[in-house]
Structure 1
């Protein structure tokens, strides 16, 4: 049994992670702003992580074996957490994102077209951190989501007092109505209604992960010993046409595509730039990934079931 603190953990794969940690026999503490209560038997600290004094006071004399941070989006938040948990935990796992590799948001080393991107393309130990940017501004943060995650990783990589790791998640799907981003629902709605899906002329593939598989990987990461970044994606690359084809089969309707020029905004998961991740490091460390094509039909079926009634 370990003492594990989850920051966030109120929805989707974070909520599932809390349940699986508890089922595995760990002593779990959830820190969030109180938007949702954790399961019975899980300690709940209602606190705003952005207020360092309040966070430190709420933690009191508590110590943990591992902290899993589900909701760190900026270097400022990372720095507050690094100071608050220094000496309180031996291991800190931050949930990060595939978006750190997006070449549209940063100047990154080039990889050959079609080559799955390895972790070293973005090295948090060398990434520049700028605390004075307007990270407190929601509009700025939304527009600079990828950079916020890169810099947050960088802060933890340089922090002392604990070992740190970051799990760079692929696009997460599954769970029906729990999938709060609405990206899969976008396709389900458009295809079932016969509405256009906007795609790039040369749509490039990306990678996905089921929300249950991501929860399982984060559970595994609490007892693993790796440090630094780790890519988390199911096996197999899919492009927007592959995704639409699976949905069309389930919905019994043919997708309607409209092509947009390179550089213009298209439907979610249509990319005109390559940054599909490699999961080789995680597999070498012992985590067995599923194939996207094995679980995707079930995720689509859940999304179809979750659709509101036409008369609602």
Structure 2
């Protein structure tokens, strides 16, 4: 099985845009389907763009007509209802449907480390993860029934230059530059896997058209193990901050004050993230990540510094971090 034509459902997100660029570099005929809204990530020349709402089954069916693609990579299916629609839409249109799931679906707290693809999927804390698990189960059953040929991909925390990978986003960097404290959960020493989207894309490419990938699930993430302290210090260094002030609070204290952070913290970030990538390396021969987070942090800061409109400070988040770091009294 060989992939020469590839349809991306999405194609302009933090992960999918890098995968589009990589597929173009590898000479594939690439089509993207999305709503065509404004994005910070441009679509490469030569990519066919289909404009439709990926979650409107009739709209997608109309615009695709009777077209087929060797592989279809879906970055926009998040719920089992959407997965059921994907089976109906894409099952007869492709030899390989790649479903982008999430490593946050793995059991929390993790049953064992490192986390390989056989660790149970169970996350009682985050609805997003539970929905991804439900999608995987539905697609597994549909694959077994012969209605679609599925490859599941489970990325961990994957970023590009547009994303500050700390809760609070650019507001955190702005505070560091103003000499104000920021907050991290726990003592900041929990290991975390963070992967540049360009590195993810090179491994993802190896799954396209691979017979060994059909019916299988794959972890794709960087082997670079960082702590949350190290991630914050790399960002501070890239932002030109020599003595960052970091305050540590328990996850419990954080979610009491910031319930909007509850699912992400208890469902993912507060647990150690050490993954086994043996399986993807068996297909992505010689794959090595090329962008350590220290370099990724410099890309993030440079991209934001290049345009003042990107440096958005959220006053509510700023006030929240003030409360969490003890700069103002909590009422």
Interval containing the TM-score (normalised by the shorter chain): 0.7 to 0.9
Q: CA deviation at 1:32?
A: 1.0
Q: CA deviation at 1:170?
A: 1.6
Tell me which of 87, 91, 113 is aligned to 2:92: 87
Partner Cα separation in structure 2 for residue 202 and residue 9 of structure 1: 37
Matched with 1:110 is 111
| SS of aligned partner of 2:134 | helix
Matched with 2:180 is 195
Partner Cα separation in structure 2 for residue 79 and residue 310 of structure 1: 41
| SS of aligned partner of 1:120 | coil
Matches for 1:1-312 after TM superposition, within 5 Å:
2-36=4-38, 38-101=43-106, 103=108, 110-111=111-112, 115-122=113-120, 144-159=127-142, 160-175=146-161, 178-179=162-163, 185=170, 187-203=172-188, 204-224=190-210, 225-226=212-213, 227-250=215-238, 251-265=240-254, 271-290=269-288, 295-308=292-305
Q: CA deviation at 1:4?
A: 0.9
- 8 Å contact kept, 1:263–1:272: no
- 8 Å contact kept, 2:71–2:96: yes
Alignment RMSD, CA only? 3.1
Partner Cα separation in structure 2 for residue 11 and residue 310 of structure 1: 20
Partner Cα separation in structure 2 for residue 231 and residue 287 of structure 1: 15
Partner Cα separation in structure 2 for residue 173 and residue 145 of structure 1: 18
TM-score by length of 2: 0.75
| SS of aligned partner of 1:230 | strand
TM-score by length of 1: 0.79
| SS of aligned partner of 2:202 | helix
Structure 1 runs not aligned, ≥5 long? 128-141
- 8 Å contact kept, 1:188–1:303: no
Partner Cα separation in structure 1 for residue 279 and residue 154 of structure 2: 12
Partner Cα separation in structure 1 for residue 204 and residue 219 of structure 2: 12
Q: CA deviation at 1:263?
A: 2.8
Partner Cα separation in structure 2 for residue 307 and residue 85 of structure 1: 38
Which deviations, in whole Å up to 9, do the C-alpha atoms of 1:1-34 show, x marking residues without a partner? 6111110002333223223222322122211112
| SS of aligned partner of 2:32 | strand
Alignment coverage as a number of residue pairs: 286
Q: CA deviation at 1:186?
A: 5.2
- 8 Å contact kept, 1:66–1:93: yes
Seen in structure 2, the aligned counterparts of structure 1 residues 42 and 239 have a Cα distance that, compared at 3 Å, is same
Partner Cα separation in structure 2 for residue 85 and residue 256 of structure 1: 50
- 8 Å contact kept, 1:4–1:65: yes
Partner Cα separation in structure 2 for residue 34 and residue 298 of structure 1: 31
Partner Cα separation in structure 2 for residue 279 and residue 219 of structure 1: 15
| SS of aligned partner of 1:119 | coil
